[in-house]
Every structure is written in structure tokens, then in C-alpha cells.
Structure 1
Amino acid sequence: MSTLDPSFSQHLQEDELTPDQYGDFVSSLPTAGFLSQYRGFWFPTRFMQGVLSFQKHFQAYETDILMMTPPKVGTTWLKAILFAIVNRKHHLDLQKHPLLTNNPHILVPYLDLHLYNKKEVPDLTSFSSPRLFSAHLPYTLLPTSIKDSMCKIVYLYRNPKDTFVSLWHFLEKNGTTTDSFEETFDKFCQGVSMFGPYWDHVLSYWKESLEKPQRVLCLRYEELKERPTTHFKRIAEFLGCPFSSEEEAKGMVNDISKLCSFDYLSKLEVNKSGTTHNMKTESFFHRGEVGDWVNYFTPQMSEKLDDIFKEKFHGTGLTF
């Protein structure tokens, strides 16, 4: 029996919820397929407990490094990059690197989808400093402790057309949707997609990066792919661990670039089989070709997204 009356969501704040009330709260939210709408964004219903617990309990450290992304913008790749850069002094022998035997999602765990979804208050004391975590939440919904701290946030975004194609492949591989490509596209345009609306997600971090560039670094997938070593150095500088001239002379930046490349990581056994967070591990590795959307979109689809993003990003300085 429900412990909350139907109108509770109007008068009860989420931070007042007890764990046994989460189910009632989540079931009261608007739904669309496997998604639930919460504070203007759409979340996979099965991860809503993790979202609520993360918001309520996470305490940020000043030294934390948080990787934030909307889904399917190169998240797995960036996790590998950040882990390799931040921990490079501990793993000088690349033949014994943790990325060879661990999926990037294990090395840089999700706070919302994994740690807080498994347990109301997970024990995070075993993570060495700087702690390296990830999440898919928009900036507006991050815990206050993150917004009030000086921890660093690295954000990655991508051309929305390629993002959608990658998202479609992911949903198909995991059997998450019964909608057609066209139906899924229409919902994406309406903002109904995982952690969407996509444009609101991107803008939430973009605006913050303009106001607090020392705290939030926004990276564009296409630029990261075109000039990886340049941006690796930029990331290291932002995180306060710049590559030394000696490291550069030894080719460390290039070595990390090769180690974290799609061609290398996707062929490792640990990334080819089994499941990660109850999803097929291989589904996290889709070759993100820039401009691949032209093989899937009709001219009308392309124009529709163009119109949406011209409207949403007009005057922001953000480009794709």
C-alpha cells in the first residue's frame, strides 16, 4: 500500500523522502516508455532512486573531479582519458595499465546510475584523492554540495544529430525501446530522451562554464577527436596536473591517446563481452564517426533539428 497520498509530490520535498517512499514518489512522476519526468528532465525510471539518493546524500570534496555528460556523446572514451591523465604517475607501465583489464565505467563509476542506485548511502571512503566520478545529471539538478564546492567538472557535448544516432544504436543493442527510428527521433525532438531535453542539458553546463571557467570545462566531441593531444593537455592544465616538458618529450600524451583510442579499447576482451550496469558492455563502444548522421537522416529530419537548435542556442555562443 502506498505510504503517500496522490498529492504528496506537491507538498513534500524530495530531500524529505525516506528510502521506503522513493518508490511511491517515482511512481507519481509522468512517464513515457521507460522514462520518468523529474524537474523538467527525463530519466530512466530504474535509475530514479540513484538520482534521488545522489542529490540527497553526496558530499563533494574540494579535490573531486566530476565528469558530466549527456548520454552517447563519447562518455566511455572521456572516462578512459580522464582516468589515464589523472592517474598517469601511478601507472607508468602502460602494459600493466588498469584500462587493459577494467571497463572505463568501472574505473570512473557513475554516482547516479551505479553507486547511489545500488545503495542509499554508499561508502565512498575507499576512493583515493582526487576522487574521479561521473554522472549524467544536468547542472541544475546537481547536489548543492557540488555547486558550492571548488571541485572540477569536465563536460562533454556533441553534435545533436550524431548524438541521436549513437543513442538509437545504444537503445537497439540493449533492447530498451520498441519504438522505430522515426518515433524515437520525434521524441528526441520533443526533449523526451534519456536525461533530455538534450539542449537544456548542454546549456546548463555551457552557461556555468562561461560564469566559472576555472570550475567547469566544456569540451566538444568533434574537437576532442580532431586534436586529441591538444585537448588532453588542456584537460590536464584545467585539472591542475599539467604535463611536464619531460612527460611530453617522452611521448606520454601520445601514449595516453593511443591507449584510450576506440580502436584499442574496443578490442580488449574486458570491453567485448558480459554486462556493465546490467547493459551489454559492447553497447558502450560505438564508433562515433563525425557526420555519420547523414547515413540515417532524411533532409526533413536534419532541417527539423537545425531549426530547434537555432532557436535554443541563439545568442549563447555555443556551436556544433
Structure 2
Amino acid sequence: MESTIYNYQGFWSSSRAIQGVMACQQQLQAQDSDIILVTTPKSGTIWLKSLLFAIVNRKCNPIFEQDHPLLVQNPHDLVLFLKFDLYVDGQVPDFSLFTSPRLMATHVPFASLPKSIQNSRTKIVYLCRNPRDTFIPMWPFANNLRLDNHKDTNSIEEMFDHFCKGVKSIENPDKALFLMYEELKKQPKIQLKHLAEFLECPFSIEEENCGVVDEILRRCSFGNLRNLRNLEVNTNGKLSAGVANKNFFRRGEVGDWKNYFTVEMNDKLNHIIEQKFQGYVLKFSYT
């Protein structure tokens, strides 16, 4: 497995992945009906994938179904990542297999998305999370990947050092929706309805009265998602990249970083956040 990473257009990645991003930038033809979820790793991706899938597909897959796809499949298999590695091998993904609207996800920042996405009416949902709480699940996740590849794990101090070394301004509200993870946790019903309105498939009064919104939130809650670890697909299944599905489920709590950070770690990251977000209205809690 490739161990060297490079800084390309402001993000760190392997040379193979960067080749895939470049090829995808040139070849992907976005559709106006596409929906792209953009996140940093471990910022709530699997949760938002579940919510997006439930919202967009609630007509063909009613949320009250006992065999709903979210009960039998991993959310990563329902909302696929843009397969940059396929572009490297010259295998352009067969997007005709996707039903409209096409749901896709990526960890690539907005500036590196294909121009066809930036220049179309494609909907972009960007999820941002407090960097402290992003780091905490990233540490065991990265160590699990290292163990899978027979490598030594990193201590929290080593991983934190890597994390520290490693926001698009929204001018068109119809194009991109900027979600804060903490607000989604604090006011899930309000944020879910806002998300559905942005995706142009708002909940009807009848749906709200029948409890559709509440059931989506319940079925996509962290408690239910964690219970999915008991499914065969999540116990022994893997993504096409070889990452075990069981690695994707955690508690998802706001402020969990306080149980792990030292005062020095918090001060260091506070300084980095202040530098990186200087001039932006985006604020994260320090306590």
C-alpha cells in the first residue's frame, strides 16, 4: 500500500487518488439533478448519508417498511463515493446504473470537484464539524486501518500531530447547503426539514402528521446506526477500497473530545482554528 501522501489543491492524498481526482475532473459529466455530499472524514458522513437516502427515496422506499434498505445495507453502499480510483484504471463508472437523482459523496473539497459539478445546478450538501470532535473518531479509525495493513498504531499524541499538520463562501443558496454537525444534533427535525426543502423534496403536511419525519430521524439515529454493526454486511463486509464496514460506527457525541484532549492539545488546535478561519463567521466551541 502506498504510504507517501502529497498536497494537491489544498488537501492531502496519495498519488493514485490524486490521479483519479484529476481524471474525474476531466471526465465526469454532472447532471442538474445530482446531489453531492461533501465532508471531511469522520465528520458525520455515514449519518448524513442515511438521512439523504431516506429523504430522497421515501416514495419508492417508505421509511416505515420493515425491509427498508437502511436496515439491511450499509449507508456507504446506498450513497456511493465518487470512485476516483476507477478513473485511474480507465474504467469510467457506469452512472446509468444510478437512479435519478444520483446520490454521491466525496471527501474532496469544493475547489477540486469537477467543473461540471461546479457549473451545473447540482445540489451540494457540505457538512462541517468541530475539528476537535472530528479528530477523536479519526484516531481509532486510522489505527484500525493501520492494523488491517499490519502496521503499528499511532498514539493519540502522534495522530494529533499529524492532524494539526495536515469554507467555501456560499454565494448561491440554491447551489450549496452548509450544515453544521452540531446544529444537526441540536435541532435534528428543523435541520432535516431544511435539508429536504433544499433538495426540492419538502415534507408534506400529511407526511409530517403521519410521523415520516420523526421515523426518518429515529431510523437514522446513532443508536440505530450502531445497532447495524450486528448485521452481516457490517460485521464482515467491506467497501470496495477494502475498509471494513465495522470501522464506520461510533457514538457521534458532541464534545467527546473533552474526554481525550490535554490542555496543550486544546490550546494548539485553538490557535490553528483561529488562523485557518480568520475572516470567516464560522465559530466552534472552545469548551
TM-score by shorter chain over 0.5: yes
**Could you tell me which residue of structure 2 aligns to residue 235 of structure 1?**
195
Cα displacement string for residues 204-223 of structure 1 (whole angstroms, at most 9, x for unaligned residues): 3xx1x2x1111110111111
Structure 1 counterpart of 2:234, one-letter code = N
- Describe the shift of the 1:157–1:315 C-alpha distance in structure 2 as closer, same or farther (beyond 3 A): same
- Aligned residue among 114, 119, 128 for 1:148: 119
Give distance in 1, aligned partners of 2:85 and 2:273. 31
Give distance in 1, aligned partners of 2:88 and 2:248. 19
- Aligned residue among 272, 287, 295 for 2:235: 272
- Secondary structure at 1:95's aligned position in 2? coil
- Aligned residue among 160, 174, 185 for 1:185: 160
CA displacement at 1:63 relative to structure 2: 0.7
RMSD: 1.9
**Could you tell me which residue of structure 1 aligns to residue 61 of structure 2?**
91
**Paired positions, count:** 274
Q: Which runs of 5+ in 1 are unaligned?
A: 1-30, 193-202
Tell me, yes or no, if structure 1 residue 101 matches structure 2 residue 61. no
Contact 1:67 1:135 in 2 (8 A): yes
Q: What are the residue-to-residue correspondences of 1:234-253 with 2, within 5 Å?
A: 234-253=194-213
CA displacement at 1:260 relative to structure 2: 0.8
CA displacement at 1:186 relative to structure 2: 1.4
Q: What are the residue-to-residue correspondences of 1:114-263 with 2, within 5 Å?
A: 116=87, 120-175=91-146, 178=152, 179-190=154-165, 192=166, 203-204=167-168, 207=169, 209=170, 211-263=171-223
Q: Which runs of 5+ in 2 are unaligned?
A: none
Give distance in 1, aligned partners of 2:27 and 2:269. 37
Give distance in 2, aligned partners of 1:265 and 1:115. 29
Structure 2 counterpart of 1:247, one-letter code = E
Give distance in 2, aligned partners of 1:98 and 1:118. 30
**Could you tell me which residue of structure 2 aligns to residue 9 of structure 1?**
none
CA displacement at 1:266 relative to structure 2: 2.0
TM-score by length of 1: 0.81
Give distance in 1, aligned partners of 2:181 and 2:77. 22
- Secondary structure at 2:125's aligned position in 1? strand
Give distance in 2, aligned partners of 1:61 and 1:303. 44
Contact 1:164 1:188 in 2 (8 A): yes
- Secondary structure at 1:155's aligned position in 2? strand
Give distance in 2, aligned partners of 1:128 and 1:280. 26
- Percent same amino acid at aligned positions? 48
Task: Identify which range, 163-172 or 87-96, moves more after superposition.
Answer: 87-96
Give distance in 1, aligned partners of 2:283 and 2:263. 20
Task: Identify which range, 269-278 or 298-307, moves more after superposition.
Answer: 269-278
Give distance in 1, aligned partners of 2:20 and 2:42. 20
Task: Identify which range, 55-64 or 242-251, moves more after superposition.
Answer: 55-64
TM-score by length of 2: 0.89
- Secondary structure at 2:66's aligned position in 1? helix
